[in-house]
Amino acid sequence: MSNKVQIRSRQYADSSVRTGNNVTHKLMGLAAEIWKYRLSYLFIAPFYAMFLLFILVPIVAGVLLGFTYFNAIQFPTWVGWMNYQNLFSQDIIFLQHVVPNSFKFALFVGPLGYVCAFFLAWLIAQLPNVLRTGYALAIYAPSLTAGIAMTVVWQVMFTGDRTGYLNSFLLKWGLIEKPMLFVQNKDYLMDVMIVVSIWASMGIGFLAILAGILNVDKTMYEAGRIDGISSRLQEIWYITVPLMKPQMMFAAIMSIVYTLKSGAIGTQLSGSNPTPNYAGQLMINHIDDYGFIRYELGYASAISVVLLLVCYLLSRVFGYLFSPKEGE
């Protein structure tokens, strides 16, 4: 702290000495400042170089490519807003299937998965310490399964004839009369996708929420009871959630990232892109379809930009909800 004050006062002294306070002096001051912190830049350099190369520059390039026609062979040609115009006026698959599907999938896997994670974490937090780890592990374990590996499980589980586990089970108990085509039928594919995604969604965000709930000072609940909080729900709403905003924010971000990443599940389950009757087609699959099957890279980039914008807006909403207010 004192060090910082010293630096400040030295800066003020410097600027008052240099009465001719022109641009070169300012720049030299900045250069000196940067030189003084050269070690800090050395610390961030390895990560930030990779970050620039593989995240920031690609994002900028992706935005630019969105304004071009690019087929991966010829040099991209500038087409202005054309890709976006086509996307929102002519791409019937996008408007009729991809947007409603993405919305439905995101709504269930995102908010519903998030609420489930909170509810389960809260239940686990009510138990004594010795039992917690076991349950937390059981609920966390599915998120450890790598997407591709699990295809093996799901494909056998949901096989369309009577040898499939689910079909066999339902037939045995007389719940259905003939085997159902779970992943090839357009009516069921989306539901299966949602169930599988929620099953595997209790990852690091869930652990963060659990940690947050356990971290709340127990005396706060007693104080709350004196102040007239009567039910468990009120406790959660007025005490638990406000006290764990950072963890809620982190879990929300992880939830959005997860929802985005799990978009490929439809093609993994049904084994084809596009999915049967576009029933499980999400934004990610649509990008893959145009980018790496049809090689219309400019158009695929434009869809990516739309997706990035949606995610950015969502994160701002969560940031607004969970950012610590002044004085907290």
Partner 1 sequence: MREVNNKMLRRLYWKRREIALAIKRFDRSQQLIVLFLTLLSVFMLLPIVYILNHAFKPLHELFQFPPTFIVRNPTFQNFIELLSLTQNTFVPASRYLLNSIIVTFLATAGMVTTGALCAYALSKHKFPGAKIVFGSIIASLLFAPETIAIPRYVIVQGLGIMNSYFGHVLPMIAMPVGVFLIKQFIDQLPNEMIEAAKIDGSTEFGIFIRIVVPMVTPAIATITILAFQNAWGNAETSTLFMQDDSMKTLPFYMATLTSNLANSVARQGAAAAGALIMFLPSLIIFLLSQRKVITTMAHSGIK
Residue 72 three-state SS: coil
Give residue 35's identity as a one-letter amino acid code.
W
Nearest CB to partner 1, comparing residues 122 and 238? 122
Residue position matching structure tokens 């991809």: 98
**Shortest spacing between CB 211 and partner 1, in angstroms:** 4
Residue position matching structure tokens 């990560």: 47
Residues 201 and 117: beta-carbon distance below 8 Å: yes
Binding mask 57-96 for partner 1 (x = CB under 8 A): xxx-xx--x-------------------------------
Residues 105 and 282: beta-carbon distance below 8 Å: yes
**Shortest spacing between CB 186 and partner 1, in angstroms:** 16
Q: Does 132 bind partner 1 (CB under 8 A)?
A: yes
Give residue 164's identity as a one-letter amino acid code.
G
Nearest CB to partner 1, comparing residues 30 and 223? 30
Q: Does 148 bind partner 1 (CB under 8 A)?
A: yes
Q: Map the footprint of partner 1 across residues 207-266, applying CB under 8 A.
A: 207-208, 210-212, 214-215, 246-247, 250, 253-254, 256-257, 260-261, 263-264
CA distance 193 to 198: 9
- Report the half-sphere exposure of 271 (CA within 13 A, side-chain side): 11
Residues 150 and 200: beta-carbon distance below 8 Å: yes
Q: Does 111 bind partner 1 (CB under 8 A)?
A: no
Which residue in 33, 187, 217, 222 binds partner 1 (CB under 8 A)? 33
DSSP state of 227: T
- Which residues, including other chains, have CB under 8 Å from residue 58's CB and lie 6 or more apart? none
Q: Does 162 bind partner 1 (CB under 8 A)?
A: yes
**Shortest spacing between CB 166 and partner 1, in angstroms:** 10
Nearest CB to partner 1, comparing residues 18 and 36? 36
**Shortest spacing between CB 122 and partner 1, in angstroms:** 10
Of the candidate spans 11-19, 55-63, 95-103, 220-228, the one that interacts with partner 1 by CB under 8 A turns out to be 55-63
Residue 68 three-state SS: strand
Q: Does 100 bind partner 1 (CB under 8 A)?
A: no
H or E element at residue 213: helix 204-215
DSSP state of 76: P
Nearest CB to partner 1, comparing residues 19 and 270? 270
Residues 87 and 309: beta-carbon distance below 8 Å: no
Of the candidate spans 15-23, 86-94, 220-228, 300-308, the one that interacts with partner 1 by CB under 8 A turns out to be 300-308
Q: Does 205 bind partner 1 (CB under 8 A)?
A: no
Exposed / middle / buried, residue 117 (Cβ in 10 Å: 0-12, 13-18, 19+): buried
Binding mask 175-204 for partner 1 (x = CB under 8 A): --------x---------------x--x-x
**Shortest spacing between CB 135 and partner 1, in angstroms:** 5
**Shortest spacing between CB 75 and partner 1, in angstroms:** 12
Q: Does 321 bind partner 1 (CB under 8 A)?
A: no
Q: Does 27 bind partner 1 (CB under 8 A)?
A: no
**Shortest spacing between CB 89 and partner 1, in angstroms:** 22
Q: What would the two tokens of residue 324 be?
A: 């610590």
Conformation bin of residue 271: beta by default, left when phi > 0, alpha when psi is -120 to 50: left
Let me know the angle formed at the C-alpha of 141 by 135 and 145, rounded to the nearest 5 degrees.
170
